[in-house]
Amino acid sequence: MTQSMELNDLSYKIIGCVYKVHSELGPGLLESTYEVCLEYEMRKAGLAVERQKPLPVIYDNIRLEAGYRIDLLVNHQVILELKSVDEIAPIHKAQLMTYLKLTGLKLGLLLNFNVQDMRKGINRIIM
């Protein structure tokens, strides 16, 4: 199986968990609530999940903590950035793109749970 196929399969599995959490909880809750519930749901589905993973910056060959934290890192391959906002802003996409750049990962999902239809809350970012 190619890496892109694996990423597609993985993102499909992740999005299934996202839909399940959103259909159970609905919109309007805090990001942290969706985060812990999604972590639980993905673990139940057999995925490896790290929550609030610190993301250092490498500067001048030195690893520096800059306060970045990945909401959820799935199978060491996909970054999930969770929001519960009226509308996704360009800064939210820029944040996820920064995380992808710093990690060297290729796929990120920007998820806004504050929507009636979760299909409208999923943004795929590919680097």
**Number of structural domains in the chain:** 1
SS3 of 45-99: CCCCEEEEEEEEEEECCEEEEEEEEEEEEECCCEEEEEECCCCCCHHHHHHHHHH
pTM comes to: 0.93
Q: Is the pLDDT of residue 127 over 70?
A: yes
**Token reading at 95:** 């944040």
- Domain range enclosing 46: 3-126
Q: What is the pLDDT of residues 53-110, one digit of tens each?
A: 999 988 899 889 888 999 999 999 999 999 999 999 999 999 999 999 999 999 999 9
